[in-house]
Amino acid sequence: MSYEDNNKPKMSFGGERENGRDHIPVSDVTGKQNRKGGGWRILFSILFLLSVLGNIFLFLILMVLAAMVLSGPSGMLREKVLIEGPSTQKIVVINLEGVIVNQSAEDIREQIKAAREDRYVKGLILRIHSPGGTISGSDEIYHQILRYRKETGKPVLAFMKGIAASGGYYTSVACDKIIAEPTTITGSIGVIMNYFVLEELLEMKLGIEPIVVKSGKRKDWPSYFRKPDEEQLQYFDEKLIQPAYERFVSIVNDGRSDLTMDEVRRLADGSIYGAQEALNNKMIDEIGYFEDAVDTILSMARLKDAQVAEYKRPFSMMSLLGSHGKTGFKLDKKTLYEFMLPEALYICDYTGN
C-alpha cells in the first residue's frame, strides 16, 4: 500500500470525511429536523384540541350549575311581578289558557296551593283564555277555586280574555265576580261528544271486516265499526250527555245568584255570547280590561295598593333538553287509543280569538 492510499480521506457512514471531520449531507439534517418539528406540531395540536374540549365541557357544567341555582328545587314556582306594589300585600294572577285537560287542573292546583301558603296574598285573579275541555279537568279547577275561597275567605275574580266558553265559563262561575274584555266570547253551556265511524272505510274501501266479541250488547257502545242507531244515541244521551249537562246547569245556577234556574236553562242551549250580551243576561258582572280587574280585586280585598304577580315555572336545563317535553308526535298504541276514545266534553268548537 502506498503513502497516498494510507493518507486518502476515508468514507464514513452517512457522508464523506473532509479535513478530518465527518461531513453529513444537508438533506439528512433537514429531514431529521422536519421530522422532529412535525412531531411537536402534532403534539401541540392534540393538546390544543383537548384544551378546547375541556373548556367546552367546563362551560356546560357551569351552565347546568347556574340553572340549578337560579331555578331552585325542581318544580318550584317563581313569582313574576306584573305591577309593582308593597310586597306584603299581593294579588296573584293565575292563568288558565288553552284547552283544559287534567294537567291543566294540576297546574292550577299547584298555583292555588302556593297562593294559600303565602300569607301576603290577599286575593286571586283567574285569567281565562280557554274554549273549555274535559269535564273532569274543568270540574277540578272549579273545585279548587271554591275550596280556596272557603278555606281562606279571600276574594277570587275571574277575568275573561278572548274566549272563555264552555269549560272556561264553568270554571269562572266558581269566582266571586266575573269581568270580561269587550271582545270576549263566552257561554257555550253544554256538552258535546264526537267520535269516528270507520264502517265504510274499513269494509267498502279496504275490505276489512272487524270482529267484536263482547259480553253484552252495550259493551262496545259507542262503536267505531258501525253507525249508532236510535237506541244507542238515546243511551249516550241518558248516560253521558244529560248528567254532565245537568251538572253544568246546576253549577251556573249556584255561581250566578242573579239568575234563576229557568233563565240558566234558557241560556244553556250551547249558544255563545259576546261580552255585552253576556252582561245583559247576567252571565258576567262587568266589561273591562286587566287594569279594571286589578282595581276591582283591590276593592274586594279592601286594599288601596298591592303588588300584582303571577307564577311561572323557572328555567330548567332538563326542559331545555326536552326530557320533560315531547320531541315529536309519537303514534303508539296509547296515543292512538286516546285519540279515538269517545269522550263527552265541556268545549266550544268556536275558535275565534
Is residue 319 scored above 90 in pLDDT? no
Output the pTM of the full model.
0.73
Residue 228 binned pLDDT confidence (cut-offs 50, 70, 90): confident
Rounded to 5 degrees, φ, ψ at 209 are -110, 110
Note if 334 is an active site residue. no
Q: What is the pLDDT of residue 200?
A: 67
Is residue 193 scored above 50 in pLDDT? yes
Per-residue model confidence as pLDDT tens digits over 83-109: 999 999 999 999 999 999 888 999 999
Which grid coordinates belong to 297?
Answer: 280585586
DSSP H helix total and E strand total for the chain: 13, 14
Q: What is the pLDDT of residue 195?
A: 73
Is residue 81 scored above 50 in pLDDT? yes
Pair type for strands 78-83 and 90-97:
unpaired
Q: Give the highest mean pLDDT range of 35-39, 148-152, 235-239.
A: 148-152
Is residue 67 scored above 60 in pLDDT? no
Integer Cα distance of 25 and 19 in angstroms: 15
Integer Cα distance of 6 and 322 in angstroms: 88
Q: Count CA atoms closer than 13 A to 306's CA, side-chain side.
A: 26
Residue of 8, 214, 219, 312 marked catalytic: 219
Average pLDDT over residues 201-207: 68
Q: Give the highest mean pLDDT range of 8-17, 23-32, 287-296.
A: 287-296
Is residue 349 scored above 80 in pLDDT? no
Structural domain 78-194+260-320+330-347, CATH architecture:
Alpha-Beta Complex (3.90)
Contact by Cβ (8 Å): 181, 289: yes
Class of residue 307 by CB neighbours under 10 A (exposed 0-12, middle 13-18, buried 19+): buried
Compute the mean pLDDT over every residue in the chain, rounded to the nearest whole number. 81
- Minimum mean pLDDT range among 31-40, 118-127, 158-167: 31-40
CA distances from 89 to 9, 28, 122, 155 (A): 107, 87, 6, 14
Average pLDDT over residues 341-346: 79
Evaluate the omega torsion of the peptide bond into residue 131 and state whether it is cis, within 30 degrees of 0: no
Contact by Cβ (8 Å): 249, 261: yes
Residue of 71, 166, 172, 188 marked catalytic: 166
Q: List the domain boundaries for the chain.
A: 78-194+260-320+330-347
- Minimum mean pLDDT range among 7-11, 116-120, 155-159, 204-208: 7-11
Q: If we measure between CA atoms, which residue out of 281, 234, 270 comes closest to residue 347? A: 270
Q: What is the pLDDT of residue 214?
A: 76
Per-residue model confidence as pLDDT tens digits over 267-318: 999 999 999 999 999 999 999 999 999 999 999 999 999 999 999 877 554 4
Integer Cα distance of 236 and 344 in angstroms: 10
Average pLDDT over residues 160-164: 96
Nearest-5° Cα angle at 218, 214 to 223: 80
> What DSSP letter does each residue of 117-153 carry, written as one string?
H-TTEEEEEEEEEE-EEEHHHHHHHHHHHHHHHHHH-
Q: If we measure between CA atoms, which residue out of 95, 145, 97, 156 comes closest to residue 121? A: 156
The more confidently predicted of residues 30 and 81 is: 81
Integer Cα distance of 212 and 225 in angstroms: 9
The more confidently predicted of residues 56 and 152 is: 152
Q: What is the pLDDT of residue 332?
A: 54
* pLDDT > 90: percent of the chain: 53
- Sheet strands side by side (includes 192-194): 132-134, 343-347, 192-194
Q: What is the pLDDT of residue 252?
A: 98
Note if 45 is an active site residue. no
Is residue 253 scored above 70 in pLDDT? yes
Q: What is the pLDDT of residue 324?
A: 43
Pair type for strands 272-274 and 185-187:
antiparallel
Phi-psi region of 95 (alpha: psi -120 to 50; beta: other; left: phi over 0): beta
- Minimum mean pLDDT range among 11-20, 123-132, 247-256: 11-20
Integer Cα distance of 203 and 205 in angstroms: 6
Which grid coordinates belong to 115?
Answer: 297562593
Average pLDDT over residues 6-19: 47
